[in-house]
Structure 1
Amino acid sequence: MSAKDFVFFFSPSPTTMLGTALVLLLVYFFSSHNQECGKEPPGPRPLPLLGNILQLDLHKPYNTLCKFSKKYGSVFTVYFGPKKVVVLAGYTTVKQALINQAEEFGERELTPAAMDISQGHGILFANGDSWKEMRRFALTNLRDFGMGKKAAEEKIIQECQYLIQEFEKYEGKAFDTKRPVNYASSNIISSIVYGSRFEYNDPQFQAMVDRVSETIRIMGTAAIQLYNVFPWLDNWVKSWRMMMKNIKMNIREIRGLIRHLKETLNPHMCRGIVDSFLIRKQKEENSGVLDSHYHEENLIFTVANLFAAGTDTTGTTLRWGLLLMAKYPHIQDQVQEELSRVTGGRQVGVEDRKNLPFTDAVIHETQRHANIAPIAIPHITSQDVTFQGYFIKKGTPVYPLLMSVLNDESEWESPHSFNPAHFLDENGKFVRRDAFMPFSAGRRACLGESLARMELFLFFTSLLQYFRFTPPPGMTEDELDLTPAVGFTLNPTHHKLCAVTQF
């Protein structure tokens, strides 16, 4: 972000400029005075109104924040425009806040973009009793419909076969893995939410998945960061208009799918989470429950949250895994040798994980190294809190810098390299690491973590059993780019791979 980038948005009159300057000088004086009191976390000195925006790379703010943490420590203040944010860096600090002091740091910051997306309903961007009830409901039903159980394993293994068939269509020629991989991961959460999967060539399904991916990408752009700071820019920001168009279209599609399920609802045969919600909603209405959380808005946005999270995070991580195998063929060799030795070519199951330590380590290292959520979805303090000697006021936005946890130099031997040995002991056995925190932690940790872990293991191993992944013809492994694309989650930049059958 530069002054030139920012100037476009403003064209004030001389009188307005004079009045604004006086106000901002007062703001600047008081903000400087507060920092001099030493009560608040340190940080770079902000400019009036702009804060530290001109010092931040708004396309990749996590990089700037990591640099700030080296200068100002693991708890520091940064200003996004006039908005003061406390950033938490490093494993020890993030763990202390999200786990040890979960109550104080457990609320969600509802930015303008977050409110546009969910209007305070659902799970991801909600607080209070409604959030607690929707999270409890979603977690219970995810488990009831198979998360972490044999039922989910069977769904994923079936979907693996569909994905393998899709890859086979390319006959070893280079192709973009994004859509088929996203469709496969989306089908797992769709089967749990709606009670059935979609065909990969279903235009409605394709459009929903593609819009979700595009919306998540847009949410990480500099334009949306600026909109969150200055929401009056809304209609001037093209990215915001695109995001809202996608959201409205997906909500319309979700309403239609829910309407169809409602018309065919059988209270004695629950097909998925939507059915379960509709049945609960009907019971509460019949019982005359006042202020029920089981209303249409919570259903729509809970479904939207589950669909988006279940599609993007797993699909993105799996694509990183395949790209890394093509980038590092010697590691792909070791994975395939272990798979062949342990399974003999049969379908891998969840129970095989304990006998596949190297493969398990590669999957975990992919999650760590890919670092797809460099900043956890912003939190906000629920009360005044003293944290590591600093005073943080109630209502202060808090950014847990997960990237700094997954790359913590005091926790990882070679944090900036792809090194599966991070998860192996001297005897080659898999070891868990406390600083492995790709799903965040505490009250706001990903509620589908166990499902995502199962998906990653089964999809990755099934594909590696069947295919050899290589760069496109004429490209070497060294030329494969591991630079992430800009987005709310970090996808690989556009690339193609060859999936060559091993039989």
Structure 2
Amino acid sequence: WQLAEQYGDIFTVWMGHIPAVIFSGFEAVKEVLIDHSEDFSDRVETPFLTTISRGNGVVLSNGHVWKQQRRFCIVTLRKLGVGKKSMEGQIEEESQQLVEVFAREKGQPFDPALSITYSISNVTCAMTFGYRFPLEDETFKKLIDALAFIMKIGFHPFHLVYEIFPWLMKHLPGPHKGALHAIEMLVSLVKKEIQKHKEQKSFQEPQDFIDFYLLEIEKRKNDPTSTYDEENLAHDIKDLFVAGTETTSSSLKWAILLLANRPDIQDKTYKEIEDVLCSSSFSYQDLKKLPYTNAVLHEIQRLKYLLLIGVPRQTAKDVKIRGFLIPKGTAIIPNLRSALLDPEHWESPKEFNPKHFLDQDGHFVAREEYLAFGAGARVCLGEQLARMEFFIFMVNLLRAFRFQLPPGVKELNEEPVAAITTPPHPYKVCAVPRCSSS
């Protein structure tokens, strides 16, 4: 942000010998993500990221592999019910499990973080593996631990040194080795699930992501252009876990923290939910009837954007933008956080203000500046799932509890932890049960 104030909306920083062009502010970020979407659609290829993905999967791949894997993921998520009532049932089940876990605390101060992560991760498990894990399952705990370790290494000094001196870092100990081991462990776990599905031949009547993918491998086995294989399948699922678990669980952690600090906004949100959703059952479509709740959810994800800046990309060809020539293969970082906090486009960018998404009559207003899920060719493919999860979990949690500060605590810390993602610092909160009639 400070560099942008000094050098303008487009500037270059050097990470060792690697130049990266930063785009800052909504207008500049929009030019990259939307106006030049295809030109900036490649994912940046660095030594560490290449070691992680080997060109496989959907998040870090490029070209034909990326296009095939992304298209398959989008189509299959729809088949599995994303955006439909069938997927809502799985999310509803997990949210009720989380309500039960919170209820065991009997209104006493507790840290909700791990329980939230377990619940969100189990939605992905049900979607990809076809079943959810019991919370005490050792394999599940290993999966969660691996995800946590992977997220910590991003922008860590060891990560940055690895990008500059990969030949050296491959031989030195450090957290980068732990992160690489965690990714190997996660991919290995997924491959065991793939093997189970193959042995059961369940893909002949597909029920989950692995089934649909194995069926696609079978259909395309004589197609020389096919990139459908078990290695890409394993990395696709790894990407779904890494991209989906930490982001949505962090949104929920931030939501509880921000609403505990702002009881007036929490109470107003709860009142709208109770007034509009008369029965205990509800659906994602009901969000359209809840303008204030919708505005609050959007404002949480605007103010507390979940990535440090945005996932780096690189130019797919030479690009001329605002008079600058950016050569093919140059690393590009669209600073999405700067777009979501741009003072030119938000009335009070650094304050929690649901009015950013409401008109004078209290109707919800969608904003083009709201880029929490990105935009263009690389827009988050799990956006619809994440929106469904966030809404269903929050409605069920707010109906069951009033979140309050622990005795003696005046305010919870709203500064984020800075890594690849930006979750809140660990905190404790009281989930006070609402009266049974609610």
Q: Given the two structures, how large is their TM-score scaled by the length of structure 2?
A: 0.96
2:118 and 2:144 in contact (8 A); partners too = yes
Output the amino acid matched with 1:375.
Answer: I
Aligned counterpart in structure 2 of residue 218 of structure 1, from 133, 137, 153: 153
1:361 and 1:422 in contact (8 A); partners too = yes
Structure 2 SS opposite 1:499: strand
Aligned counterpart in structure 1 of residue 236 of structure 2, from 293, 302, 305: 302
Deviation at 1:500, TM superposition (A): 1.2
Residue 124, structure 1, aligned to residue 56, structure 2: no
Aligned counterpart in structure 2 of residue 495 of structure 1, from 413, 427, 436: 427
Deviation at 1:67, TM superposition (A): 0.8
Unaligned 5+ runs, structure 2: none
Greater radius of gyration (CA): 1
1:378 and 1:398 in contact (8 A); partners too = yes
Residue 81, structure 1, aligned to residue 16, structure 2: yes
Matches within 5 A, 1:349-428: 349-428=283-362
The CA distance in 2 between the partners of 1:350 and 1:247, in whole Å, is: 33
Seq. identity, %: 37
Structure 2 SS opposite 1:408: coil
The CA distance in 2 between the partners of 1:482 and 1:228, in whole Å, is: 31
Deviation at 1:349, TM superposition (A): 2.0
Deviation at 1:303, TM superposition (A): 0.9
Q: Cα deviation per residue 1:211-268 (whole Å; 9 max; x = unaligned)?
A: 1122112223232122223323424351101101211211221111111111112344
Output the amino acid matched with 1:489.
Answer: T
Output the amino acid matched with 1:137.
Answer: F
Residue 275, structure 1, aligned to residue 207, structure 2: no
2:203 and 2:210 in contact (8 A); partners too = no
Matches within 5 A, 1:61-210: 66-210=1-145
Q: What is the CA RMSD across the aligned residues, in angstroms?
A: 1.4
1:227 and 1:237 in contact (8 A); partners too = no
Structure 1 SS opposite 2:390: helix
Q: Cα deviation per residue 1:432-488 (whole Å; 9 max; x = unaligned)?
A: 111000111111110010111111111111101111111223212x2x101111220
Counterpart of 1:51 in structure 2 is none
Unaligned 5+ runs, structure 1: 1-65
Structure 2 SS opposite 1:236: coil
2:149 and 2:178 in contact (8 A); partners too = no
Output the amino acid matched with 1:450.
Answer: Q
Aligned counterpart in structure 2 of residue 252 of structure 1, from 185, 188, 193: 188
Counterpart of 1:265 in structure 2 is 201
Structure 2 SS opposite 1:197: coil
1:439 and 1:445 in contact (8 A); partners too = yes
2:98 and 2:115 in contact (8 A); partners too = yes
Residue 240, structure 1, aligned to residue 176, structure 2: yes
Residue 483, structure 1, aligned to residue 415, structure 2: yes
Matches within 5 A, 1:14-29: none
The CA distance in 2 between the partners of 1:113 and 1:483, in whole Å, is: 28
1:221 and 1:486 in contact (8 A); partners too = no
The CA distance in 1 between the partners of 2:70 and 2:333, in whole Å, is: 21
Counterpart of 1:312 in structure 2 is 246
Residue 290, structure 1, aligned to residue 224, structure 2: yes
Q: Cα deviation per residue 1:344-397 (whole Å; 9 max; x = unaligned)?
A: 362332122122111111100000011111322111001111101111111110
Higher RCO, 1 vs 2 (CA within 8 Å, ≥6 residues apart): 2
Structure 1 SS opposite 2:175: helix
2:20 and 2:332 in contact (8 A); partners too = yes
Q: Which moved more, 1:217-226 or 1:312-321?
A: 217-226
Q: Cα deviation per residue 1:60-89 (whole Å; 9 max; x = unaligned)?
A: xxxxxx111111111111111111111011
1:345 and 1:465 in contact (8 A); partners too = no
The CA distance in 2 between the partners of 1:388 and 1:284, in whole Å, is: 44
Q: Which moved more, 1:110-119 or 1:312-321?
A: 110-119
Deviation at 1:291, TM superposition (A): 5.0
The CA distance in 2 between the partners of 1:315 and 1:189, in whole Å, is: 12
Deviation at 1:271, TM superposition (A): 1.4
The total of aligned residue pairs comes to: 434
Structure 1 SS opposite 2:325: strand
Counterpart of 2:403 in structure 1 is 469
2:110 and 2:429 in contact (8 A); partners too = yes
Q: Given the two structures, how large is their TM-score scaled by the length of structure 1?
A: 0.84
Output the amino acid matched with 2:184.
Answer: K
1:77 and 1:85 in contact (8 A); partners too = yes
Output the amino acid matched with 1:191.
Answer: A
